[in-house]
Structure 1
Amino acid sequence: MLTHSFKLVTIIAEPVLEPRITTELRRLGATGFTVVEGRGQGSRALHAAEIPGINVRIETIVPPEVADRIVEYISKQYFADYEVIAYLSDVQVVRGEKYRRAP
């Protein structure tokens, strides 16, 4: 089976940031995203959101250059003032054309 190499960008954030982050993902080159609600506890224990422990996990599969733009944007815009983490994973996908914008 033919697969294509991409990056999975995972962002875990306060729910109030979801609309802002998902709008920016599209602007930065993502063709889509998935959002899942979750709960947990990080290095700071409780979250600053209205409901302690509730957060969203936003995931998008993108080419490496788009992943770099997204992580740079998230780190500059949110790390200092919000409960946000971001990480990248290498993924192999089928139907790679779904994850690239047409030129």
Structure 2
Amino acid sequence: MNAHTRTLLTVICEAALEKKLVADLQVLGAPGWTISDARGRGSRGVRSAEWNTEGNIRLEVICARELAERIALHLQTRYYANYAMVCYLAQVEVLRAEKFQ
């Protein structure tokens, strides 16, 4: 097995931001992403996802560390003040490195 190190950027935020985040990821050069519905409780209370724009989404991007940090900084600067959002980075190993530049 030939594993390669990349960075996983995970963003959990309000579902109402999905279209804006997808546009941001395209402009910033993300190689791809996965978005799924998310439910839970945090500092802003319980998010139930009963309405399309009321719940949370979990957005994941696997890419080079520099790009992950650039995306996270952009999201922090643009959205943290006005939206419920959490971002975190984790080192991961991938088997098809060319897909996650």
Q: Same fold (TM over 0.5)?
A: yes
* Alignment partners' CA distance in 1, 2:15 and 2:32: 18
Do the aligned partners of 1:40 and 1:53 also contact (CA within 8 Å) in 2? Answer: no
* Count of residues paired in the alignment: 99
Q: What amino acid is the match of 2:88?
A: Y
Instruction: Say whether residues 1:4 and 2:7 are aligned partners.
Output: no
Q: Which consecutive unaligned segments of at least 5 residues does structure 1 have?
A: none
Determine what percentage of the aligned residue pairs are the same residue.
39
Provide the residue aligned with 1:44 in structure 2.
Answer: 44
* Alignment partners' CA distance in 2, 1:99 and 1:22: 17
5 Å matches for 1:50-69?
51=51, 54-69=55-70
Q: What amino acid is the match of 1:78?
A: Y
- Please state how far the C-alpha of 1:22 moved relative to its aligned partner: 1.5
- Please state how far the C-alpha of 1:38 moved relative to its aligned partner: 1.5
Please give the root-mean-square deviation of Cα atoms over the aligned residues, in Å. 1.9
- Please state how far the C-alpha of 1:50 moved relative to its aligned partner: 8.1
Q: Comparing both structures, which one devotes a greater share of its residues to strand?
A: 2
* Alignment partners' CA distance in 1, 2:66 and 2:28: 10
- Please state how far the C-alpha of 1:25 moved relative to its aligned partner: 1.3
Do the aligned partners of 2:15 and 2:54 also contact (CA within 8 Å) in 1? Answer: no
Q: What amino acid is the match of 2:19?
A: P
SS in 2 for 1:12: strand
Q: Which piece of structure 1 moves more, 23-32 or 73-82?
A: 23-32
Provide the residue aligned with 1:84 in structure 2.
Answer: 85
Q: Which consecutive unaligned segments of at least 5 residues does structure 2 have?
A: none
C-alpha distance 16-50 of structure 1, shift in aligned 2 (>3 A): farther
SS in 1 for 2:45: coil
SS in 2 for 1:80: coil
Q: What amino acid is the match of 2:58?
A: R
